[in-house]
Structure 1
Amino acid sequence: MNKPLILVVEDDKAVQKLITTTLETQSYQYHTAGTGKGSILEAVSRKPDIMILDLGLPDMNGIDVIKKVRTWSNMPIIVVSARSEDRDKIDALDAGADDYLTKPFSVDELLARLRVSLRRVRYDSEKLQRDATVFTNENMKIDYAAGCVWIDDEEIHLTPMEYKLLCLLAKNVGKVLTHNFILQEIWGSYSSDIPALRVFMATLRKKIEKDASQPKYIQTHIGVGYRMLRVGDDGKSG
């Protein structure tokens, strides 16, 4: 694919400069916006591949930007914000953000998050995630049509709940899914039974991971939710 286009939405000129300079060193194309309204206009007109978004914008809350963009675009949105409370992260992710990076941040971490999101862009563009009948992730294979899962070419037997969880994570590979989102998607209505979700996730990990104490497929975001990593992406599971 061509060099990706990244929209940087940040009103702090120093932070904006840090991000754009970092993008320049990696030969990424980018445009900038310093307001929420400006970011929406740029997103509509430029059609960027990824948005890097600050939540504290002068004219509107970044959460509202996410919600508006999600009415017409599925592009990855990486929030970069000084807000570090779990509630802020959960609100942003529930609104439709794909990732959340807390200020101050290292440029290496920002680039790592970008690489993960760009892999998602590539897979989406080739329709390998949502349209394929078979999902593969290194030694894992899910045959959606047959309802079967293999690890290292050996079929593993999952309970219906474990299979639903695995498929939900696989169809959103690379994206952080909050506890509330998972509970609503799997149970069909709002549930607050996070302890039960943790139990199901633990049993699932025991079946798909060689070492459940050091998982490579399913990453935990403490207090927030879970994400399936495409093996080989940057990031640490745990």
Structure 2
Amino acid sequence: MLKFRADLHIHTVLSPCADLEMSPRNIVSGAKEAGLQIIGITDHNSTRNALVIKNLAQAEGIYVLMGAEVTTKEEVHCLAFFEGDEELKEFQNYLDDNITKIPNPNGHFGYQPVVDADENVLEMVDYFLTSALKKGISEIQQKVYDLNGIFIPAHVTRPMGGIFTQLGFIPATLSYDALGITSKTSAAAIRATKGVKPDVTLVYNSDAHFPEQIGRNYSVFHLEEVSFKEIRMALNRLHERFVEER
């Protein structure tokens, strides 16, 4: 097996809470400087900047998981990733159809530009992207799996948006590939205090909103090669693939 450094929770300039320096090129450059081989693009409730970063990153040997950080009806934040462009497009349509559209006039909640590789603004999203969807966490998870995607509840113990904060527990019927955690906690502490089972993978991510945050918290994946299939196997600890825990 080979080792690959991964940060699966990175916001672009499209997220209203992200710095305007989080352009596609700056993200790829920051990932390279941080020694990352795998990154996840996870803007709030939008996938529209993911493909341009994937195309830029390929030239630098960096694999991009394309997706979004979804806010469920319960206001739980979850990461959703898709392998192909068509699945990504269908999920974007799902987001568009189900997000609560709160107007964002003149960037009141933060600017939300869709950009190209040269930082040209293609579109300004005119509704607040961090709003909750009208669908619950189980419904969203099922949609992700219907599109053969990866589903990861994000920063599970964070005071806002974490599944333990919002729900108090993980529903017994909820399926997921891993749980996301940040540098402010540890895998051992979460397992001890939240009853997370030993066979559940915990993934360290940065939740980067500024260039200097990219890769500040990362995971090490053990894979035969970098691919969507291999990453999913590692998250689910299949066929000797796994994510290091520390």
TM-score exceeds 0.5: no
Is the radius of gyration larger for structure 1 or structure 2? 1
More helix, by proportion = 1
With a CA cutoff of 8 Å and minimum separation of 6, indicate the structure with the bigger relative contact order: 2
